[in-house]
Structure 1
Amino acid sequence: MTDTRKSTQNAVGAPGRAADGLAARLVVERGAFRLDVTLTAAPGDVVALLGPNGAGKTTALRALAGLVPLAGGHLRLDGAELDRTPPESRPVGVVFQDYLLFPHLSALDNVAFGPRCHGASRAEARAQAAAWLERMGLAEHAAAKPRRLSGGQAQRVALARALATHPRLLLLDEPLAALDARTRLDVRAQLRRHLADFEAVAVLVTHDPLDAMVLADHLVVIEDGRVVQEGTPADIARHPRTDYIAHLVGLNLYRGQARGHAVQVDGGCVVTTTEDLTGPAFVAFAPGAVTLHRERPAGSSARNLWRCEVAGLQSHGDQIRADLTGELPLAADLTTVAAAELDLRPGATVWATVKAAQTHAYPA
């Protein structure tokens, strides 16, 4: 994605320019909650903010937009201080979760609203809006009011409205959350293409790890108002550092002390790995790496073996996910047929095995 964003002219003729991107430390205090998050991004970068409900993601986005005042820190965009710049004067475009299109205006006039507010004549604004709708594949819907648009079409109109002012910072608050699963798939692909052409900084808030992995170059994970991990999607997925992130990317994660190829997990259990480490470490493995047995296996080549109890069963895609407690609490994925053959049910005793080659250990 990065290479395609380095153009110096966007699709509707706004000239590109050299820029410094985003450099911010956002300190916000709201009652007992304190947000303290540092964000940096170069022009062309897409940054995704991930985190559980109440972590501070939307607060961070609103602080960038100027809708929430900073209690400390700084906010610089392209080298300019924005801390005290009113929201309407910031070179920032926002796509809200519910899009907030003006219901009495056509799609064309919704998009033209921004250029008009920035001093363009009615004819100029409508010409720019028409170009943006053409780019979004919505030219035939220019005269339609929001109530006549599908969810995916409304999302693209909202994106066009945000981009029509040529912002240096684009903020997207759960832009796909209001869409059904099929529409979400299509619109996610379209949004990826539009973000690839955006030559300034984009910051995306989402609860969906797939949205983040597909759309963003860099992930920033926030918990309790602070950054707990950041990096590329691949790095975050391979090296989760909190239970929330591990659950997000679908891994069993443990922290402990490494001694050679063994990690002594907090709580006493040992996980054997192929990595050779010393000191504080994380060890992770996928639920699909777990094999379950009703009797203790005698001839298994797996280096890891734990006695567990089935705490619960739930459908997980086309598989069954077993939540296990016991020597090592973990999640295991297996087919419906395998679950039936094992006669799995809550309270049943099972033996879980994992090959050392299917674990991954890294420094904590």
Structure 2
Amino acid sequence: MTDIDAPEAAPTRVGDEGLDARLVVDRGAFRLDVSLTAAPGDVVALLGPNGAGKTTALRALAGLVALTDGHLRLDGAPLEDTPPESRPVGVVFQDYLLFPHLTALDNVAFGPRCQGVPRAEARTQAAAWLERMGLADHAHAKPRRLSGGQAQRVAVARALATRPRLLLLDEPLAALDARTRLEVRAQLRRHLAEFEAVAVLVTHDPLDAMVLADRLVVIEHGQVVQQGTPADIARHPRTDYIAQLVGLNLYRGRADGHAVRLDAGPSLTTTEELSGPVFVAFPPSAVTLFRDRPTGASARNLWRCEVEGMETHGDQIRADLTGELALAADLTTVAAAELDLHPGAAVWATVKATQTHAYPA
């Protein structure tokens, strides 16, 4: 696993090892056309809004959805015409889908048994996997006796017990409560770091993706719109969805030196000196609000706005603003009370040029 602050690097490939796929699936008016490559040891997260095609891509990799076009090669071997049960692929579903009538041990042993491993040996292998997952004491428990976190770890052990060359995880933490999710996420990160083949994770949670994945692939409307390391995606969002995902205000415009004329809105001043089409981003925490127009303020960027809505965001209040520039601003509950903020309130918003980040579009 790479640290999220490491610079972006192209995925390494050794010969024909790893995943090389172009997934084209036509479903009525929807068309998925996504290319994915990954080397053994890579963890790739697919992110995107509902209906973007993430789950369709995962099901195509598993063989549960047929390709309309494209290709799917794993370690150099074509899999397009290989039935799901014959693919070296392990899947962890959102709802785990453990066999309710089998113990945790026999759930994990099921995969090796299907591969022809004798019963006793399969159970020995399963016991070793459960011990690695910290579940040795629950080997003889049936799924209904397991907590959500324990069931998730059994599902991961069952997928890994077949020694897959491709591990697919479909929202693996979505069914867990917040406290359990934190613990299991850390455990899953450790297991994925030890996994020697390719892992592909589908999630709607940016924190899951940032913690678990080496590389993010963002899909919108069936197409890849951006990919890179978590750090690169967070620093250089290229669509509104990604900006909202990582919590940034994002605008597109044309730069002339330090001034950027926005496509939809006023001009912005930035510290970067650029020319041509650019993106400008800044966090909601960079926005300072005033009820009256500030005098003598050092901020180079100043807009008259109106509070459209307010909501609790962590331990702060997030105000959605409209007016000369639509943007989100974060402030403490004390500051919101002192400003007497409420929907419809007129405010002035400022952002210092040093708190903006401009980069080529």
Q: Same fold (TM over 0.5)?
A: yes
Distance between the aligned counterparts of 2:15 and 2:174, measured in 1?
33
Residue 52 (structure 1) aligns with = 49
- TM-score when scaled to structure 1? 0.95
State the Cα RMSD in Å: 1.1
Residue 121 of structure 2 aligns to a residue in which SS? helix
2:152 corresponds, among 144, 152, 155, to 155
Letter of the structure 1 residue corresponding to residue 157 of structure 2: A
Distance between the aligned counterparts of 2:316 and 2:296, measured in 1?
26
Distance between the aligned counterparts of 1:145 and 1:191, measured in 2?
21
1:324 corresponds, among 314, 321, 324, to 321
Residue 301 of structure 1 aligns to a residue in which SS? coil
Distance between the aligned counterparts of 1:147 and 1:289, measured in 2?
48
Distance between the aligned counterparts of 1:228 and 1:267, measured in 2?
21
Equivalent residues, number: 351
> Aligned pair 1:25/2:17, yes or no?
no
Residue 101 of structure 2 aligns to a residue in which SS? coil
Q: Are residues 247 and 95 of structure 1, via their aligned partners in 2, closer, same or farther at CA, if it must alter by over 3 Å? A: same
1:267 CA displacement: 2.1
Q: Deviations over 1:221-249 (max 9, x none)?
A: 00000000000000000000000000000
Distance between the aligned counterparts of 1:149 and 1:189, measured in 2?
19
> Aligned pair 1:275/2:302, yes or no?
no
Matches within 5 A, 1:75-154: 75-154=72-151
Distance between the aligned counterparts of 2:201 and 2:265, measured in 1?
40
Q: Deviations over 1:248-269 (max 9, x none)?
A: 0000000011111111111241
1:37 CA displacement: 0.2
Q: Could you tell which deviates more after superposition, 68-77 or 263-272?
A: 263-272
Distance between the aligned counterparts of 1:172 and 1:86, measured in 2?
19
1:31 CA displacement: 1.1
Stretches of 4+ aligned residues off by more than 4 angstroms: none
> Aligned pair 1:37/2:58, yes or no?
no
The unaligned stretches of length 5 or more in structure 2 are 4-13
> Contact conserved, 2:71 with 2:80, CA < 8 A, in 1?
yes
Letter of the structure 2 residue corresponding to residue 344 of structure 1: L
Q: Deviations over 1:98-122 (max 9, x none)?
A: 0000000000000000000000000
Residue 233 (structure 1) aligns with = 230
Q: Deviations over 1:292-334 (max 9, x none)?
A: 0011100110110000001011111110000000001000000
Residue 175 (structure 2) aligns with = 178
> Aligned pair 1:166/2:163, yes or no?
yes
Distance between the aligned counterparts of 2:147 and 2:355, measured in 1?
44
Distance between the aligned counterparts of 2:335 and 2:123, measured in 1?
61
Distance between the aligned counterparts of 1:130 and 1:300, measured in 2?
66
1:338 corresponds, among 324, 330, 335, to 335
Identity %: 85
Distance between the aligned counterparts of 2:149 and 2:251, measured in 1?
40
